[in-house]
Amino acid sequence: MTGEMQNPIIRVRDITVQFGSTRVLDGLNLDVKRGEILGFVGPSGAGKSVLTRTIIGLVPKVAGSIEVFGVDLDSSSTSQRRNVERRWGVLFQQGALFSSLTVRQNIQFPMREYLRVSQRLMDEITMAKLTMVGLKPEVAERFPSELSGGMIKRVALARALSLDPDLVFLDEPTSGLDPIGAGDFDELVRTLQRTLGLTVFMVTHDLDSLYTACDRIAVLGNGKIIAAGSIADMQASQHPWLRQYFHGKRARAVMG
Amino acid sequence: MNSDPKLERIAKGNALALCATGTWTASFAPVLERIVADAEKLAGSPQSIFIDVSEVAKLDTFGAWLIERLRRSLTKGPVEAQIAGLSANYSSLVDEVRRVRATTAVDSGTVTITGMLEQIGRTVAGVGGTVAGLVDMLGAVLAAWFRVLIHPRSFRLTSTVHHMEQVCWRAVPIIVLITFLIGCIIAQQGIFHFRRFGADIFVVDMLGVLVLREIGVLLVAIMVAGRSGSAYTAELGSMKMREEIDALRTMGFDPIEVLVLPRMMALVLALPILAFLGAMAALYGGGLVAWLYGGVEPEAFLLRLRDAISIDHFIVGIVKAPVMAAVIGIVACVEGLAVQGSAESLGQHTTASVVKGIFFVIVMDGVFAIFFASIGM
């Protein structure tokens, strides 16, 4: 564990992922620093979600190595891996809430598995998490099918945060939300990052999120990271896709 | 890095300071809860109380909430408790937790006798609803069928052929295999028991009548209910869950016409074919066993079979098939469209589809038996 503070929280080296004969990620390198919010952008179908899923371990890779919290996920033992998984939270694109459990049970599910906590404390922490993500306590007894899209995202975030992770993966957290809701969500991610000291890995398409929430931006193209840096670096870049992305009509509208 | 959390009491003149030290995180939650419960007993003391958190090594939501819980319960006394020594890092977390409203205990449905009786009552009353739902669906399917007869172009042939492949063509190997084995078993058992009074040859009569009238179609219908009825329910149910059926409706399509009718058609056409193949496989299996185990030559078997059965037996069997198919299809589609938003609901309705499908198939078989007996077939 020594030196964990300085090292990047995620270190991805030469990752290659292939589906059949199509190579989605090709020798990709990426570092995520402790405490930052990394925005991850790229054209649709470039493999942003694939990279996220590869890091989490849902998609097998052909080559390369992934270290999270300084643990190499390929050579780690089961208990090491469980320890890593306990320290990260994942917000899936569709929320992926357990449909047969209520909101309260969804949020308590990881707690029951990993912690030995009394029911009273779990209930109280659930309410705390719901308040943090901006939901009313009444929501707790509802089922996922009775929630709106924005509420599902918030509950999914509350579940991702239920064990107080050090790292959260957000896969398009603001897609499908109205602009005000999306803005609130960016604000929420920022606040949580400040209060809980989170590191956030956020796949997004939302220019607003990039401007308001992210410390650093990485751009995926042709299976590699084509640029990484601050929003100013991105705007200064001469890469054609980046120019189009950050200087297009919508980008100008966001920058006002 | 991690050290056991502690809460020390230090008297400072008139005030009491509770000094929190160590790691106040989720991993230490059981210890923390005990410590906090202990300290809560101080509530009501006349001294003013400070909770000093400046020495806390690490704090997360669990720790922050427990400190907040302690503060709240101590505040119930005459004097207000204060949290002191918050570092900048943690003050926003504690502020966040402070906004949390006290929770109300949730009543986790206890089981009572009246509750159980109520549940039984509701289930019994639900039987009427089930029958009404089936009749409703039958009506809707027939209405869609007449619409299609008037406008044959709106019939979904591709979809029907696709479902025919799924429920008929792909079911042939398993249906033939199982009915073959059942035929073998009936013949073996028949020969084994009939041999004692020298009535070996009557096993052919038994096999022919049993397979053509009853077992062939009943067994195949039960297998189709398990194989295709469940598939229909799961398909329609997951489409319902993802709002695909609502999408169809808003585009001006009738889900009955687009989804249910092709499936029903496929099943109604498939079951007679499968029942016929099943009956043939069972007769073949029975004949084989009669020859190899019972020593009945194939020629003798066929001669005896020709005498023992008439075309009536075959008709009685095969006429039941489309009706049973319709029952299975309607039950499966009703259950599929009744699925609610959760995975659990999908599972329940798929189970219900198979159970009800098999139940109604057997009930129909009984009704047919009475009918054919009364018309003397």
Q: What is the pLDDT of residues B188-243, one digit of tens each?
A: 999 999 988 888 888 999 999 999 998 889 999 999 999 999 999 999 999 988 88
- Predicted local distance difference test score (pLDDT) of residue A224: 81
Residue A141 neighbours by CB under 8 Å, 6+ apart: A102, A103, A104, B106
- Predicted local distance difference test score (pLDDT) of residue A196: 75
Band the pLDDT of A1: cuts 50, 70, 90.
very low
Q: In the structure encoding, which two tokens stand for residue B115, read together?
A: 């509750």
- Indicate if the pLDDT at residue A210 is higher than 90: no
Give chain A's mean pLDDT.
Answer: 81
Residue B4, helix vs strand vs coil: coil
Q: Which amino acid is at B284?
A: Y
Inter-chain CB proximity A116 and B29 less than 8 Å: yes
The pTM assigned to this predicted structure is 0.71
Residue A139 neighbours by CB under 8 Å, 6+ apart: A103, A130, A147, A151, A155
- Indicate if the pLDDT at residue B296 is higher than 80: yes
CA–CA dist A192, A139 (Å, integer): 20
Positions of E strands within chain A: 10-19, 22-32, 37-41, 63-68, 71-72, 88-91, 167-171, 199-203, 216-221, 224-229
Mean pLDDT of A70-92: 83
pLDDT tens profile B129-184: 888 989 999 999 999 999 989 988 888 889 999 999 999 999 999 999 999 999 99
Inter-chain CB proximity A195 and B103 less than 8 Å: no
Return the higher-pLDDT residue of B1 and B202.
B202
Among residues of chain B, what percentage have pLDDT more than 90? 48
Q: In the structure encoding, which two tokens stand for residue B136, read together?
A: 């409703």
Inter-chain CB proximity A115 and B65 less than 8 Å: no
CA–CA dist B185, B191 (Å, integer): 10
Band the pLDDT of B187: cuts 50, 70, 90.
very high
**Widest Cα–Cα separation across chain B:** 114
CA–CA dist A28, A11 (Å, integer): 11
B24–chain A Cβ distance below 8 A for any pair: no
- Indicate if the pLDDT at residue A4 is higher than 60: no
**Closest by Cβ to B26, choosing from A1, A115, A144:** A115
Band the pLDDT of B302: cuts 50, 70, 90.
very high
B93 neighbourhood in chain A, CB within 8 Å: 195-196
Are the beta carbons of B7 and B19 closer than 8 angstroms? yes
- Indicate if the pLDDT at residue B370 is higher than 90: yes
CA–CA dist B187, B294 (Å, integer): 9
- Predicted local distance difference test score (pLDDT) of residue A252: 65
Helix residue ranges, H only, B16-112? 29-40, 61-75, 88-98
- Predicted local distance difference test score (pLDDT) of residue B2: 63
pLDDT tens profile B254-286: 889 889 999 999 999 999 999 999 999 999 999
Inter-chain CB proximity A164 and B101 less than 8 Å: no
- Predicted local distance difference test score (pLDDT) of residue B176: 96
ipTM (interface pTM):
0.74
Inter-chain CB proximity A121 and B65 less than 8 Å: yes
**Closest by Cβ to A118, choosing from B26, B33, B106:** B33
CA–CA dist B369, B377 (Å, integer): 10
Among residues of chain A, what percentage have pLDDT more than 70? 95
- Say if residue B205 is exposed, middle or buried (CB neighbours under 10 Å; 0-12, 13-18, 19+): middle
Return the higher-pLDDT residue of B353 and B92.
B353
Give chain B's mean pLDDT.
Answer: 86
Torsion over CA: B98, B99, B105, B109 (sign):
negative
B100 neighbourhood in chain A, CB within 8 Å: 124, 127-128, 131
Of the candidates A219, A160, A200, the one whose C-alpha atom is nearest the C-alpha of residue A36 is A200
CA–CA dist B208, A234 (Å, integer): 81
